[in-house]
Amino acid sequence: MTAETSMTASTSMGSTHPNRYQALWTLCQDSTKRLLKNPLTAVGLGVVIMLLLVALFAPWLATHDPLVQNLNNTLSAPSAAHWFGTDEFGRDIYSRLVHGARITLYIISLVTVIVGPIGLAIGAISGYFGGWVDTLFMRITDIFISFPSLVLALAFVAALGAGLEHAVIAIALTSWPPIARLARAETLQLRQADYIVAVQLQGASSARILCRHIVPMCLSSVIVRLTMNMASIILTAAGLGFLGLGAQPPLPEWGAMISTGRSYMLESWWLVAFPGGAILLVSLAFNLLGDGLRDLLDPRSE
Partner 1 sequence: MTMIDIQSLDLSFGHGAQQAHILKSIQLAIDEGESFGLVGESGSGKTTILRCLAGQYNHWTGHISVNNQRLSHRLDRARCRLMQMVFQDPYGSLHPRHTIESILAEPLKIHGIDQRHERIGQLLSKVGLDDSFRYRFPHQLSGGQRQRVAIARALILEPRILLLDEPTSALDVSVQAEILNLLSELRQREGLTYLMVTHDLGVVAHLCDRIAVMQHGEILEVLGTDELLAGQAQHPYTQMLITHSRHKSEVPGQVTRV
Partner 2 sequence: MTTSKLTVKNLGVRFNQDGHFVDAVRNVSFTLGQEKLAIVGESGSGKSTVGRSLLRLHPRTAEIKADALQFGDIDLRHASDKTIQQLRGGRMAMIMQDPKYSLNPVMKVGDQIAEAYRAHHRATRKSAKQKTLEMLDKVHIRDPERVYDLYPHEVSGGMGQRIMIAMMMIPEPEVIIADEPTSALDVSVQQQVLSILDELVTEHHLGLIFISHDLNLVRQFCDRVLVMYAGQVVESIAAADLDHAEHPYTQGLLSALPSVTERRPRLPVLQRDPRWLTATGA
**Contact residues for partner 1, defined by CB under 8 A:** 1, 4-5, 8-9, 11-13, 16-20, 22-23, 27, 193-195, 197-204, 208, 212-213, 216-217
Query: Taking the alpha carbons of 115, 118, 122, 123 in that order, is the dihedral positive or negative?
Result: positive
Residue 151 to residue 130: CA distance in whole angstroms: 31
Nearer to partner 2, 17 or 37 (CB): 37
CB of 261 to partner 1, least distance (A): 48
Q: How far apart are CA 170 and CA 292, in angstroms?
A: 29
With a CB cutoff of 8 Å and minimum separation 6, the contacts of 207 are none
Torsion of CA 101, 167, 144, 209, to 10 degrees: 60
300, interface contact from partner 2, partner 1, none, CB < 5-8 Å by kind: none
DSSP category for residue 64 = S
* From the list partner 2, partner 1, none, partner contacted by residue 53 (C-beta under 5 to 8 A by kind): none
71 binds, among partner 2, partner 1, none (CB under 5 to 8 A by kind): none
Closest CB 302 distance from partner 1, rounded Å: 12
* Of residues 168 and 296, the one with the C-beta less far from partner 2: 296
Residue 266: name its binding partner from partner 1, partner 2, none (Cβ under 5 to 8 Å by kind): none
- Of 205 and 263, the one with the shorter C-beta distance to partner 1 is 205
200 binds, among partner 2, partner 1, none (CB under 5 to 8 A by kind): partner 1
Q: Which does 193 bind (CB under 5 to 8 A by kind): partner 1, partner 2, none?
A: partner 1
Asked whether 292 and 119 are in contact (CB, 8 A), the reply is: no
CA distances from 64 to 58, 252, 276 (A): 11, 13, 20
Q: How far is the CB of 212 from partner 2 (least distance, A)?
A: 32
- Residues in the chain, overall count: 302
Q: Please report how close the Cβ of residue 294 comes to partner 1 at its closest, in angstroms.
A: 17
CA distance 168 to 246: 8
Is residue 98 packed enough to be buried (19+ CB in 10 Å), middle (13-18) or exposed (0-12)? Answer: buried
* Min separation Cβ 180 and partner 1, Å: 22
Q: How far is the CB of 179 from partner 1 (least distance, A)?
A: 20
Question: Smaller CB distance to partner 1: residue 9 or 71?
Answer: 9
Q: How many CB atoms lie within 10 A of CB 52?
A: 12
Closest to partner 2 by CB, 5 vs 146, is 5
Q: Rule CB under 8 A: which residues touch partner 2?
A: 3-4, 7, 11
Our CB check for partner 1 shows the closer of 25 and 57 to be 25
Contact of residue 199 among partner 2, partner 1, none (CB under 5-8 Å per partner type): partner 1
Q: Which residue's CB is nearer to partner 1, number 118 or number 204?
A: 204
Q: How far apart are CA 2 and CA 40, in angstroms?
A: 51
Q: Tell me the CA distances in angstroms from 148 to 102, 141, 172, 174, one per residue in order.
A: 27, 13, 13, 8
**Backbone region of residue 17 per phi and psi (left: phi > 0; alpha: psi in -120 to 50; beta: other values):** beta
The least distance separating partner 1 from the CB of residue 132, rounded to whole angstroms, comes to 17
